[in-house]
Chain A
Amino acid sequence: MAEEVFLFGFWGSPFSRRVEMALKLKGIEYKYIDEDFSNKSPSLLKYNPIHKKVPVFVHNGKHLAESLVILEYIDETWKDHPILPKDPYERANARFWAKFIDEKYLSAIWKSCTCEEKEREKAVEEVSELLQFLENELKEQRYFGGETIGLVDIAANIIGYWLEIFEEAFGVELLRKEKFPKLCNWANEFVSVSAIKENIPPRNKLIAFLRNRFGIGNTRHS
């Protein structure tokens, strides 16, 4: 049966880009629809009435929302380049880290970039603690998934690419090489993988978008 795959996303969103990364890794053809947040399409609202957010994934008419849910579905449906391990303990570990990244990292990074000056030091320290957990978890592996990109690497795209964009857009230093050598190395490896490289938003466009939409905040020197 010919597969019909659609993805409703936003070019700048790490969450919808995660789905694209997985689709590209597995060589799955899909049609992409970019959403305008100020004017959400009727299809988006129909397929994700609960959260009204991207990404929304549609496969042969069946729709799904929430990026990590979509990633597991893609992995179970298309078996090439598995992104979750087979062993239940390792799967649980991957799910734990993906969930942790989702719950804590973006909001902490966001806060450190957009908070008041007097709260900045504490906010940056919180990001630093979170990054240290990931630095430790990498151990001597090339990727969180081991030898190949896995669920946690894809979930960590926020740190692999978006973090540096935030740093430049808002003039905050978060991922220092001397403090997080493994994580920096991982980020470089991550964005050089072709399925990832083809799916990251253009740097200057994203920086301009963030600055325009959310303001530079207090000016500071980078």
Chain B
Amino acid sequence: MAHEVVLLDFWPSMFGMRVRVALAEKGIKYEYKEEDLRNKSPLLLKMNPIHKKIPVLIHNGKPVCESLVIVQYIDEVWKDKNPFLPSDPYHKAHSRFWADFIEQKVYDTARKIWATKGEEQEVAKKEFIETFKILEGELGEKPFFGGETFGFVDIALITFYSWFYTYETFGNFSIEAECPKIIAWAKRCMQKESVANSLPDQKKIYEFTVWMKKYFGMD
């Protein structure tokens, strides 16, 4: 079957990056369309009328929204290469649980580290470290959250790594000092081409955040 795949995305988005990683893992050719979130395209508004957000995967004209829903969709359609989820239902559910944990716990807290100051920022840093220590516990001695191979939970989490320099600089702390296993895991993931080619440079993300804070008067 001929596949026409388009990704509506925004380069610094860790959610968009998840889809880029997933597509690269499966070796899928696609058209990347950069969205200006201050001026959303008619295509984006038509393909994601509910949330009006990126990422949106458009496969043979039909939209799929929400990054982890998209990643699972990619895994189910292109099922013969590099499966992201284990085949055993319990281990699959276990992976979904941890991806959901990442969805619930990481983004809002992490955002507060660069977007706030003072007490609010300190609370956010503390929660961020607690969350990542829990994740370190789940990782244990495994090379990846998926076990021997890179999988769904790894995809859900690794994209935040591109923002680590931003969190550390604004928050004035070292994630490696607090969670060394997470950094070791992240570097292991970054050795994969699919990951390295999908994540922007950490300094670029930082510069973008500095610009964004000025632009929105968040300083």
Give the interface of A toward B (CB within 8 A): 50, 59, 62, 64-66, 68-70, 72-73, 76-77, 88-89, 91-92, 95-96, 99-100, 133
Task: Quote the shortest CB–CB distance from B2 to chain A (angstroms).
Answer: 16
For the complex, is B1 an interface residue (Cβ under 8 Å from A)?
A: no
Binds A, one of B33-41, B90-98, B149-157, B183-191: B90-98
User: 26 interchain pairs (CB within 8 A)?
Assistant: A50-B101, A50-B134, A59-B90, A64-B93, A64-B94, A66-B96, A68-B100, A69-B97, A72-B93, A72-B96, A73-B90, A73-B93, A76-B93, A88-B76, A89-B62, A89-B64, A89-B73, A91-B76, A92-B70, A92-B72, A92-B73, A95-B66, A95-B69, A96-B64, A96-B65, A96-B69
A88-B77 contact, Cβ under 8 Å, with A73-B89, A96-B69: yes
Contacts of B73 in A (CB 8 A): 88-89, 91-92
Q: Is the interface of B mostly helix, strand, loop or mixed?
A: helix
Report B's interface with A, CB cutoff 8 A. Answer: 50, 59, 62, 64-66, 69-70, 72-73, 76-77, 89-90, 92-94, 96-97, 100-101, 134
A64 vs B77: C-alpha distance when bound (angstroms) = 26
In the assembled complex, how far is the CB of residue A98 from the closest CB belonging to chain B, in whole angstroms?
A: 9
CB-CB < 8 A to A65: which residues of B?
97
Are A64 and B97 also in contact (CB < 8 A) when A50-B134, A73-B90, A76-B89 are?
yes
Q: Which residues of B contact A68 (CB under 8 A)?
A: 100
User: B97 near A66 (CB under 8 angstroms)?
Assistant: yes
B76 partner residues in chain A, CB cutoff 8 A: 88, 91
4 smallest CB-CB distances across A and B, nearest first, come from A73-B93, A88-B76, A76-B89, A92-B73
Inter-chain CA distance A45–B72, complex, in Å, is 30
Most chain B Cβ neighbours within 10 Å, of A50, A70, A72, A77: A50
- The reply to whether B90 and A69 form a contact with Cβ atoms under 8 Å apart is no
A69 in contact with B93 (CB, 8 Å): yes
